[in-house]
């Protein structure tokens, strides 16, 4: 059981990193293709008109001259053909009628040529349309590995091609995120279930001592609570991401709320002999008090949980001109630099917090970020690798345009 439990998270993280690199590479390829196409087609604009490149101007002039020369050639052909017919029949109409016949004949030849060319180009255009339709049908079937080629003849539709490719990339990323989510949930559920199943079978051994039996029952209870907490966090995150979650703004003293949370955690920081470094300015804030309460509970509990015995946990509150800043820090083991950009992702856990005795499931910080985003604020983490790790929450003042 222990070997699989140690290796599974490592495999999951390696797979997640590989998929993330693939998504980034796909995005870079799409951006590069768009830049190349923009360069070819002169997408820069001024005054609402597209700039034409020298190549496009020369192409337009050459096309116009080709049409003129072709019409002239047809008119000359008709002129000599009718002249030969007049000589053969030994009859010649009036000059005006002869010129009219020549003009109509030239235009008929021109029309036949354009009809043939139009059919040829229309077939190529239909192939292009069929390619777009097939790409959209593949995406409708769930196949997002779509990349429609951008070609110069379809310049007017290249923006549509870029949009389809971009949509395929984004939908592909969503599908990968969905698969990763299912994989992570399955792992988080399977681990405690494996423990519960294993220790339940062990309890059937009648030769167990009372202490061993109590130890196994404690593990089963812990794993059951872990499953319950995972279920609660999944429901909470799902509710926050829906547009129906209550979001009630009201003005209240943020410093009092933080102080109450610190006092509520007193048994935890007293047990570890932690020094609480608290600096709270008097700050009034307009926000959803219940939602922010979940933020402070998560961040302060984490700071205490990962602080060393006899360590220091800091909680500082200050108010600037445009925002309120909350810093929650500890002097525990630093977060690895490669983990910092990902710690707010669902189920992402650094190596040290993979320790099952810590009881984390990788959803707490995702909930924190979602709540702060709902308040149009930001949350970030800093770790200098030696002294302390600090989580910084920035909340805009209500006059800065906070909207529900």
Q: How many CB atoms lie within 10 A of CB 295?
A: 27
User: Which residues have C-beta within 8 Å of that of residue 282, sequence separation ≥ 6?
Assistant: 253, 255
What is the pLDDT at residue 328? 94
What is the pLDDT at residue 117? 74
Q: Is 101 within 8 Å of 130 (Cβ atoms)?
A: no
What is the pLDDT at residue 40? 46
The pTM for the full model equals: 0.56
What is the pLDDT at residue 49? 41
What is the pLDDT at residue 280? 92
What is the pLDDT at residue 240? 76
Spans of the chain below 50 pLDDT: 1-8, 40-50, 351-357, 400-404
The pairing of beta strand 284-287 with beta strand 250-253: antiparallel
What is the pLDDT at residue 318? 92
What is the pLDDT at residue 5? 45
Q: What is the pLDDT of residues 51-92, one digit of tens each?
A: 556 776 787 788 788 878 887 888 888 888 888 888 888 888
Q: What is the pLDDT of residues 358-375, one digit of tens each?
A: 555 677 888 899 899 989
Q: Is 357 within 8 Å of 270 (Cβ atoms)?
A: no
Q: Please give the Cα distance from 231 to 194 (Å, whole number).
A: 17
């Amino acid at each position: 059981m222990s070997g699989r439990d140690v290796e599974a998270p490592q495999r999951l993280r390696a797979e997640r990193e590989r998929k993330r690199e693939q998504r980034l590479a796909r995005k870079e390829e799409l951006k590069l293709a768009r830049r190349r196409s923009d360069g070819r087609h002169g997408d820069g604009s001024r005054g609402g008109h597209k700039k034409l490149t020298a190549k496009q101007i020369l192409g337009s002039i050459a096309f116009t001259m080709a049409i003129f020369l072709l019409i002239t050639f047809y008119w000359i052909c008709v002129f000599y053909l009718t002249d030969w017919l007049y000589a053969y029949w030994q009859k010649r109409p009036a000059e005006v009628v002869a010129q009219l016949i020549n003009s109509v004949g030239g235009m008929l030849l021109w029309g036949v040529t354009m009809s043939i060319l139009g059919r040829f180009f229309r077939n190529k255009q239909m192939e292009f349309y069929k390619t777009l339709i097939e790409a959209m049908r593949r995406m409708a079937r769930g196949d997002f590995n779509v990349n429609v080629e951008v070609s110069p003849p379809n310049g007017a539709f290249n923006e549509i091609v870029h949009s389809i490719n971009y949509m395929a990339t984004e939908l592909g990323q969503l599908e990968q995120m969905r698969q990763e989510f299912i994989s992570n949930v399955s792992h988080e559920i399977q681990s405690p279930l494996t423990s519960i199943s294993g220790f339940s079978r062990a309890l059937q051994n009648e030769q167990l001592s009372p202490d061993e039996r109590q130890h196994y029952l404690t593990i089963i209870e812990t794993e059951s609570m872990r499953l319950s907490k995972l279920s609660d966090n999944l429901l909470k995150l799902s509710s926050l991401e829906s547009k129906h979650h209550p979001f009630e703004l009201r003005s209240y003293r943020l410093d009092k709320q933080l102080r109450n949370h610190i006092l509520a955690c007193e048994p935890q920081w007293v047990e570890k002999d932690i020094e609480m470094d608290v600096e709270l300015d008097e700050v009034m804030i307009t926000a959803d008090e219940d939602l922010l309460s979940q933020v402070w509970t998560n961040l302060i509990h984490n700071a205490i949980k990962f602080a060393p015995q006899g360590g220091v946990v800091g909680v500082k509150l200050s108010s600037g001109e445009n925002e309120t800043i909350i810093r929650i820090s500890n002097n525990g083991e630093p977060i690895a630099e490669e983990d910092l950009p990902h710690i707010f992702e669902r189920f992402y856990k650094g190596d040290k917090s993979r320790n099952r005795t810590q009881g984390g499931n990788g959803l707490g910080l995702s909930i924190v970020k979602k709540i702060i985003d709902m308040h149009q604020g930001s949350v970030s983490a800093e770790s200098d690798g030696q002294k302390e790790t600090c989580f910084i929450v920035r909340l805009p003042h209500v006059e800065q345009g906070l909207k529900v």
